[in-house]
Copies of this chain bind each other. A is one copy, B any other.
Amino acid sequence: LTSETVRQAGTAAALLGEGDVVDLVERLPPARAALLFRVLPKDRALAVFESLDAGHQADLISALREADVIDFFEQMDPDDRVSLLDELPAVVADRLLSGLEAGERTLTGVVLGYPRGSIGRRMSPELVSVPRAATVEQALANVRAHVLDAETIYTIPVVDHGRLLVGVVGLRRLLASDPQTPIEDVMRPVESAVVTEDAERAARRFLDRKLLGMPIVDHEDRLVGIVTVDDALVIVEEADSEDAARQGGTEALRRPYLSTAVTRLVRTRIVWLLVLAVSAILTVQVLEIFEATLDQVVVLALFIPLLTGTGGNTGNQAATTVTRALALGDVTSRDIGRVLFREVRVGALLGLVLGSLGFLIAGVVYDLQIGIVIGLTLLAVCTMAAVVGGAMPIIAQTLRADPAVFSNPFISTFCDATGLVIYFLIARAVLGL
């Protein structure tokens, strides 16, 4: 790499927007991304580093120059600093922490003190609040005093004696009010979260309410920090990545797809694939029980993938709909009875349509008896699958279990085995075997 190339890269980077540089860094291998950092002006380099997620930051740390690392780390917000520390090897994390100036180390320590996965771990302790007894004018002076160091100045928590949280006021409301108005007259009821609350739950509630900032309190309702909308977005994105992966029966990647090693990709998938394959041995055993029937009427084998596939699809449709309704809060676990009653009817109606079609086609192409078997099986399988698919997400939520246990592939596998039993019982009865 010549100094000429470096100079050219610097010119190119200067022409790009900050977001574009972030995108570029995320796609480059760490060593080359670190080179790009060296040609960026100091303040731009910091802005780009701060915009990266903690995983990328951790990857970069070893490739960056020690001086840059210490500098970046010193400039970060306490909550972002903690996210990065969580990604680093303990030795590196300790070295960075001990290099911090005392005040910053204390702030970081506050956030580090809360359990992993809690909202306290993701909040910023640097905030501007205003006493209940103040006026709008005093509040605005307070905002100006903290304009550079507070995590946000757009949502201002209102506190009583002992930092007791009693309300919240937006900067916009302050600017629109007469300077002498008491804060009590302009504050509104507050939506807050307790430090130990699950970060994902608190962040979803926060985004649901369309707020810009959510104060965080301890168990005595005392203000300890604030979470901003961008923090909440990152938390929800991480959770969505995990949920999406688990619905597909795999683990979420912690690095971009193209820079994840093939063996790492295999590891994210092999466990669930093995679990599912072992569960699928159930289908082999079910078929073994009915091997004699199958031997007598080989034509029954032809419909196995069609019937199990339709069952799996119906189950997944129901599971997808109910999972989404649970996520949106439209359905809670207390509604399980109502959900099942709906899914029985939906499944039966779907089964009626598909079953009639199956009866007609199989009846014409093969014979009437096969038509009856296929028609009845589709009716029964669709009803069973809709109920199973609708029930599983609610059961998972009730058991506070990992949704991965009831992923789409799992529902398919379960419906496959059950569907085969239904199929052969109906076939035996109708064909008189």
* Chain A residues with a Cβ under 8 A of chain B: 17-19, 23, 26-27, 51, 143-144, 147-148, 153-154, 171-172, 175-176, 189, 191, 205, 207-210, 212, 229-230, 233, 240-241, 244-245, 247-250, 252-253, 256-258, 262-263, 265-266, 268-270, 272-274, 276-277, 280-281, 283-284, 287-288, 291, 294-295, 298-299, 301-306, 308-310, 312-314, 316-317, 319-325, 328-331, 335, 338-339, 342, 345-346, 349-350, 353-354, 357-358, 361, 408-409, 412-413, 416-417, 420
Given contacts A210-B230, A329-B23, A342-B265, contact A280 B256 (CB under 8 A): no
Q: Which residues of B contact A412 (CB under 8 A)?
A: 309, 312-313, 412
- In the bound assembly, the distance between CA atoms of A322 and B244 in angstroms comes to 11
Question: Copy number in this complex?
Answer: 2
Whole-angstrom distance between the Cβ of A90 and the nearest chain B Cβ: 28
Given contacts A270-B350, A324-B244, contact A302 B284 (CB under 8 A): yes
From the candidates B19, B295, B302, name the one contacting A287 in the complex (CB within 8 A). Answer: B302
Q: Are B256 and A325 in contact (CB under 8 A)?
A: yes
- In the bound assembly, the distance between CA atoms of A17 and B51 in angstroms comes to 34
CB-CB nearest in chain B for A287 = B302
Instruction: Given contact pairs A210-B230, A212-B212, enumerate 9 new A-B contacts (beta carbons under 8 Å).
Output: A265-B321, A266-B350, A277-B306, A277-B358, A280-B306, A291-B298, A294-B298, A313-B409, A313-B412
- In the bound assembly, the distance between CA atoms of A241 and B335 in angstroms comes to 21
- In the bound assembly, the distance between CA atoms of A26 and B208 in angstroms comes to 13
- In the bound assembly, the distance between CA atoms of A122 and B176 in angstroms comes to 26
Q: Are A273 and B349 in contact (CB under 8 A)?
A: no
From the candidates B306, B350, B409, name the one contacting A283 in the complex (CB within 8 A). Answer: B306
- In the bound assembly, the distance between CA atoms of A316 and B245 in angstroms comes to 10
Q: Which residues of B contact A313 (CB under 8 A)?
A: 249, 272-273, 276-277, 409, 412
Which of A175, A229, A257 has the most chain B CB atoms closer than 10 A to its own CB? Answer: A257
Whole-angstrom distance between the Cβ of A98 and the nearest chain B Cβ: 30
CB-CB nearest in chain B for A189 = B17
- In the bound assembly, the distance between CA atoms of A205 and B23 in angstroms comes to 11
Given contacts A295-B298, A298-B298, A313-B409, contact A321 B283 (CB under 8 A): no
Which of A253, A284, A314, A322 has the most chain B CB atoms closer than 10 A to its own CB? Answer: A284
CB-CB nearest in chain B for A19 = B209
CB-CB nearest in chain B for A327 = B244
- In the bound assembly, the distance between CA atoms of A233 and B189 in angstroms comes to 23
Q: Are A249 and B317 in contact (CB under 8 A)?
A: yes
Q: Which residues of B contact A335 (CB under 8 A)?
A: 258
Whole-angstrom distance between the Cβ of A324 and the nearest chain B Cβ: 5
13 residue pairs from A and B, CB less than 8 Å apart:
A18-B189, A147-B176, A212-B212, A244-B323, A248-B316, A269-B350, A272-B317, A273-B313, A277-B357, A288-B302, A294-B301, A309-B413, A312-B409
